[in-house]
Amino acid sequence: MTDLTIQKSNTGQRAGKKPKGVTTRRVTTASGAKVTIRAIDAHSPTFGEDFLYVFTKNVEAARKENKRLFGSADGIPAAK
């Protein structure tokens, strides 16, 4: 049986600057709102980093929108 080594990192990964495999476009919806579209290349050698960056940016946008709508970043109304 082979030995299994599990390592825990105390520092989480954060998306830094935009990777080269990510393309960003600002488009206007039918209702006139501006939205940002981020696309990644599935065959990119840095797919993991690209995906992490796009996912992190999407979570940031969702938390910001929830904060605006509900007063709390997790979507649950803040207790008063």
Which among 25, 22, 28 has a CA at the least distance from the CA of 49?
A: 22
Which among 28, 5, 18 has a CA at the least distance from the CA of 50?
A: 18
Per-position pLDDT tens, the chain of length 80:
678 787 776 666 665 688 888 999 999 999 999 999 999 999 989 898 899 999 999 999 988 988 888 888 776 766 66
pLDDT of residue 30: 96
The domain locations on the chain are: 22-70
**Would you mind telling me the total number of residues written for the chain in this entry?**
80
Q: Determine the 3-state secondary structure of 39 from DSSP.
A: strand
Token digits of residue 7: 């390592």
pLDDT of residue 3: 82
Q: Is the pTM of this model over 0.75?
A: no
